[in-house]
């Protein structure tokens, strides 16, 4: 039975990512290397990759953007397209050169990226005479216009012209000759580091010539080190290479198949100390481990851009996974780089210790439960990255604690009493340390808030002061109430520690929009807190009566000095007016229950502002008493049954810092 191939259909079903537009070009270079090997002429072999650019735009290499690439030409002095090779070329999925890892579909990649392939090849025919074969290859006619001529050269060799670079691939491909030469070197690096010689490979770009031997010398930090390891029953060859630090590379594992680079994977940060550039006695370098194996050869996909290997779950046939390969490579890399990682390890651990001591003491109690390798980080990590890293470790410890807690509640019947007691003791110790961490986090948070408040009340570079909404946001998010915000998002403790345990809070909302108040007033207090409780256990029960207290907080812009008589300009009158309207209104809870009217409900009014001359005058008009330190005023207004306290911003910061100083000192945090 005769089977026919639809070339266009095969091309549609052949996958090649737009980011791999140079892959067919590099594969053509590999074909040239193999053709030279077939001649047994590595020592005198030569491959030239010429970059063809659009001549109409002109050539100006001083320009950052070189002329567009329209194609490539690859010339070698290999055995050429003799009858056997030509027949193989015409046969898709040919098994010719299968021992070299060839899949017989490489030329399909040419037509995925280029419109036309022109081939001129000198070869030795069956009569041992030199001949020249010329033919074309495209997606409509396949191989066509094939002719045999008398030779025009004195020895075998081939030139392949890849023309009509597809715009969708060209747009994502490298454009500079040096960059292309460097990427080609990575693709064929195995031929240079293996035992035996590689042919001379040159990249020409409109007069510029890049020799891959020279580039290799520039890139290599030291000579390659080769070793063989076993994964399951398969042998894997590892080639450890140190590249000069000037090369823009990251530490990586490079998986190869059929002597080509197929897949790169960063291993930066996956070994303790393997961060950024590392150093040995010869200077800084970056590390790559090239991995090759018959297993990889057998599992590479036809386009040679990936493998048919699962990531981490073993299949029914117990095949090797990427996870197994990665772990085996990292194990050997750790041994190979052992001497040079120590400095980075020490610096990374020191970075963690200093960050915990000075910025995040909440993590100190959990360090005994974290594996040492997770306490070694890149010394260049930002504080944000380091915080996220440590928080991940903290979360994992807490997750373990929850699991252990469930196990503790179900003792093993076969477990001895002493063993259970020991396990219980370890669990309780871990639980205690986690709680210490939570407490340390709470105290550290307070330190940050106080520092931010101090910065927000200072004069800006423009000579102005922060708007009151900046300070407002630090104390309580604007436009929120206690149903919108978690208690630990509020910082009312800055004013009074008792306010940290409010039952209802509304912020910059009109009185009649508060679900606890039935008043029709549209006046807006900055903060209104109504607390209902009978005893500490019912502190959050808003259905209990009588109402305990009303607290009003008014915040003004730093250094504001336009206060005068009248509720629109006097913050003290504003606060007392809010108190009066709440008392007179038909106030309801959020459940719609009326709160019994009472004129005896105590009220507390806090005014946060700077003690400018006009503000001091308003305090005196209300017969308030100046504080002993001169940083505030206080007093009781019997007509409103309200306690009034005017707190300067400096006093607010000073008082909050003093109340928390003992905690800061205990954690080793600077209190000033």
99 pLDDT band (50/70/90 cuts)? very low
Q: Mean pLDDT score of the chain, rounded to an integer?
A: 80
Cβ atoms of 666 and 445 closer than 8 Å: no
Q: Strand, coil or helix: what is 533? A: coil
What is the pTM (predicted TM-score) of this model?
A: 0.54
**Cα(527)–Cα(553) distance, integer angstroms:** 5
Q: Please choose, from the candidates 291, 202, 212, the residue with its C-alpha nearest in 3D space to the C-alpha of residue 253.
A: 291
Q: What is the pLDDT of residues 213-258, one digit of tens each?
A: 999 888 888 888 899 999 999 999 999 998 887 656 789 999 988 7
More confidently predicted of 409 and 162: 162
**Cα(664)–Cα(440) distance, integer angstroms:** 9
Q: Per-residue pLDDT averaged across 502-524, rounded?
A: 58
DSSP 8-state secondary structure symbol assigned to residue 596: P
Q: In what order do the strands lie in the sheet with 69-76?
A: 142-149, 130-138, 114-124, 157-165, 69-76, 46-53, 200-205, 208-211
pLDDT of residue 144: 86
Count CB atoms within 10 A of the CB of residue 669: 21
Q: Which residues of 180-205 are buried (b: 16+ CB within 10 A; e: fewer)?
A: bbbbbbbbbbbbbbbeeebbbbbbbb
Q: What percent of the chain is modeled with pLDDT above 90?
A: 28
Q: What is the pLDDT of residues 631-640, one digit of tens each?
A: 999 999 998 8
**Cα(482)–Cα(487) distance, integer angstroms:** 7
Q: Which of 360-369, 599-608, 623-632 has the lowest mean pLDDT?
A: 360-369
- CA 219 to chain centroid, in Å, comes to 28
58 pLDDT band (50/70/90 cuts)? low
**Cα(509)–Cα(472) distance, integer angstroms:** 13
Tell the residue number behind the tokens 């980075």, with chain if given.
Answer: 344
Cβ neighbors of 607 (< 8 A, separation 6 or more) are: 554, 556, 571, 572, 575, 644, 645, 646, 647
Q: Per-residue pLDDT averaged across 647-663, rounded?
A: 86
Q: Strand, coil or helix: what is 319? A: coil
382 pLDDT band (50/70/90 cuts)? confident
Q: Which residues of 149-169 are buried (b: 16+ CB within 10 A; e: fewer)?
A: eeeeeeebbbbbbbbebeeeb
**Cα(87)–Cα(27) distance, integer angstroms:** 19
CA dist list (Å): 26 to 72, 162, 372: 10, 12, 44
Cβ atoms of 152 and 115 closer than 8 Å: no
User: Given a cut of 50, is residue 98 above it in pLDDT?
Assistant: no
**Cα(647)–Cα(634) distance, integer angstroms:** 8
322-325: Cβ within 8 A, 24+ apart: 324/231, 324/232, 325/231, 325/236, 325/255, 325/291
Q: Per-residue pLDDT averaged across 89-113, rounded?
A: 64
User: Given a cut of 80, is residue 606 above it in pLDDT?
Assistant: yes
How many contiguous H segments (helices) and E segments (strands) does the chain have? 17, 21
Q: Per-residue pLDDT averaged across 167-188, rounded?
A: 91
pLDDT of residue 479: 57
Q: What is the pLDDT of residues 126-161, one digit of tens each?
A: 899 999 999 999 888 888 889 999 999 999 999 999
pLDDT of residue 543: 43
Q: Per-residue pLDDT averaged across 281-291, rounded?
A: 88
Q: In what order do the strands lie in the sheet with 642-647?
A: 504-507, 527-532, 547-555, 603-608, 642-647, 632-637, 625-626
pLDDT of residue 165: 95
Q: What is the pLDDT of residues 410-469, one digit of tens each?
A: 767 666 777 777 777 777 777 777 776 666 667 777 877 888 888 877 776 666 776 666
pLDDT of residue 582: 77
Rg (CA), the chain: 38
All structural domains of the chain: 7-210 (3.30.565.10), 225-336 (no CATH), 350-442 (no CATH), 468-659 (no CATH)
Q: Per-residue pLDDT averaged across 635-664, rounded?
A: 88
Is the C-alpha dihedral spanning 332, 335, 340, 345 positive or negative? positive
Count CB atoms within 10 A of the CB of residue 231: 17
pLDDT of residue 508: 54
**Cα(120)–Cα(157) distance, integer angstroms:** 9
Q: What is the pLDDT of residues 483-493, one digit of tens each?
A: 555 555 677 77
User: Given a cut of 70, is residue 162 above it in pLDDT?
Assistant: yes
Cβ atoms of 394 and 435 closer than 8 Å: no
**What does residue 26 show for φ and ψ, rounded to 5 degrees?**
-65, -35
More confidently predicted of 624 and 377: 624
The separation between the first and the last C-alpha atoms of the chain, rounded to the nearest angstrom, is 90
Q: Per-residue pLDDT averaged across 590-611, rounded?
A: 76
Count CB atoms within 10 A of the CB of residue 175: 16
Q: What is the DSSP string of 215-283?
A: HHHHHBSS--EEEEEEETTEEEEEEEEEEETTS----EEEEEETTEEEEEEE-TTSSTT--S-EEETTE
Q: Please choose, from the candidates 664, 653, 614, 663, the residue with its C-alpha nearest in 3D space to the C-alpha of residue 631.
A: 653
Q: Per-residue pLDDT averaged across 509-518, rounded?
A: 57
pLDDT of residue 32: 93
Cis peptide preceding 546, ω within 30 of 0 = yes
569 pLDDT band (50/70/90 cuts)? confident
Q: Which residues of 473-502 are buried (b: 16+ CB within 10 A; e: fewer)?
A: ebbbeeebbbeeeeeeebbbbbbeeebeeb
pLDDT of residue 9: 65
pLDDT of residue 503: 54
What is the token pair recorded at 659?
Answer: 């109340």
Count CB atoms within 10 A of the CB of residue 376: 22
**Cα(85)–Cα(392) distance, integer angstroms:** 58
Cβ atoms of 80 and 32 closer than 8 Å: no
Cβ atoms of 137 and 107 closer than 8 Å: yes
What is the token pair recorded at 31?
Answer: 């074909």
pLDDT of residue 101: 44
Q: Per-residue pLDDT averaged across 15-33, rounded?
A: 90
540 pLDDT band (50/70/90 cuts)? very low
- β-partners of residue 209 are 204
**Cα(419)–Cα(400) distance, integer angstroms:** 19
């Amino acid at each position: 039975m005769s089977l026919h191939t639809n070339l266009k259909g095969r091309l549609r079903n052949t996958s090649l990512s737009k980011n791999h537009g140079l892959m067919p070009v590099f594969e053509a270079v590999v074909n040239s290397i193999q053709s030279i090997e077939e001649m047994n002429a590595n020592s005198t072999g030569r491959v030239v990759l010429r970059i063809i650019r659009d001549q109409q735009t002109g050539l100006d290499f001083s320009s950052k953007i070189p002329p567009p690439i329209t194609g490539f030409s690859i010339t070698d002095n290999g055995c050429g397209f003799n009858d056997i090779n030509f027949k193989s070329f015409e046969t898709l999925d040919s098994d010719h050169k299968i021992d070299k890892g060839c899949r017989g579909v490489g030329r399909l990649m040419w037509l995925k990226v280029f419109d036309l392939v022109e081939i001129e090849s000198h070869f030795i025919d069956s009569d041992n005479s030199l001949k020249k074969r010329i033919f074309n290859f495209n997606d409509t006619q396949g191989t066509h216009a094939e002719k045999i001529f008398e030779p025009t050269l004195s020895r075998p060799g081939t030139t392949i012209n890849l023309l009509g670079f597809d715009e969708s691939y060209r747009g994502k491909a490298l454009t500079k000759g040096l960059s292309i030469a460097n990427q080609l070197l990575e693709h064929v690096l195995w031929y240079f580091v293996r035992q035996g010689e590689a042919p001379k490979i040159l990249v020409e770009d409109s007069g510029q010539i890049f020799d891959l031997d020279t580039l290799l010398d520039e890139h290599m930090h030291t000579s390659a080190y080769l070793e063989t390891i076993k994964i399951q029953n398969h042998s894997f060859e590892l080639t450890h290479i140190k590249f000069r630090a000037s090369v823009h590379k990251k530490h990586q594992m490079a998986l190869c198949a059929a002597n080509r680079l197929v897949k790169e994977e960063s291993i930066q940060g996956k070994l303790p100390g393997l961060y950024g550039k590392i150093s040995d006695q010869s200077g800084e370098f970056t590390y790559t481990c090239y991995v090759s194996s018959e297993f990889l050869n057998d599992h590479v996909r036809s386009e040679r851009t990936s493998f048919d290997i699962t990531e981490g779950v073993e299949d029914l046939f117990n095949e090797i996974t990427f996870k197994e390969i990665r772990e085996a490579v990292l194990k050997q890399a750790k041994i190979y780089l052992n001497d040079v990682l120590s400095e980075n390890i020490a610096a990374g651990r020191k970075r963690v210790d200093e960050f915990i001591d000075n910025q995040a003491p909440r993590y100190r109690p959990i360090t005994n439960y974290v594996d040492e390798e997770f306490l070694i980080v890149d010394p260049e990590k930002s504080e944000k990255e380091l915080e996220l890293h440590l928080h991940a470790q903290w979360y994992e410890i807490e997750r373990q604690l929850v699991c252990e807690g469930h196990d503790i509640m179900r003792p093993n019947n076969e477990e001895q009493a002493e063993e259970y007691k020991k396990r219980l003791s370890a669990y309780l110790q871990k639980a205690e340390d986690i709680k210490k961490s939570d407490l340390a986090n709470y105290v550290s948070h307070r330190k940050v808030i106080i520092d931010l408040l101090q910065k927000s009340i200072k004069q800006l570079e423009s000579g102005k002061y922060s708007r009151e909404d900046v300070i407002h946001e630090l104390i309580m998010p604007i436009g929120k109430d206690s149903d919108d915000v978690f208690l630990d998002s509020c910082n009312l403790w800055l004013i009074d520690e008792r306010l940290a345990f409010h039952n209802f809070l509304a912020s910059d909302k009109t009185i009649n929009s508060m679900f606890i108040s039935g008043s029709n007033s549209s006046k807006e207090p900055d903060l209104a807190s109504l607390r209902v409780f009978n005893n500490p256990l019912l502190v959050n029960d808003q259905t209990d009566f009588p109402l305990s207290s009303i607290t009003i907080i008014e915040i003004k812009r730093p250094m504001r000095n336009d206060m005068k008589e009248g509720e629109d300009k006097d913050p003290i009158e504003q606060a007392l007016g809010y108190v009066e309207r709440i008392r007179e209104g038909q106030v309801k809870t959020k459940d719609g229950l009326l709160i019994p009217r009472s004129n005896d409900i105590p009220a507390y009014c806090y005014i946060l502002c700077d003690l400018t001359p006009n503000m001091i005058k308003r305090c005196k008009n209300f017969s308030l008493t100046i504080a002993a330190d001169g940083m505030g005023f206080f007093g009781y207004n019997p007509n409103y049954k309200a306690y009034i306290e005017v707190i300067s911003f400096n006093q607010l910061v000073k008082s909050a810092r003093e109340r928390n100083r003992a905690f800061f000192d205990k954690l080793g945090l600077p209190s000033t």
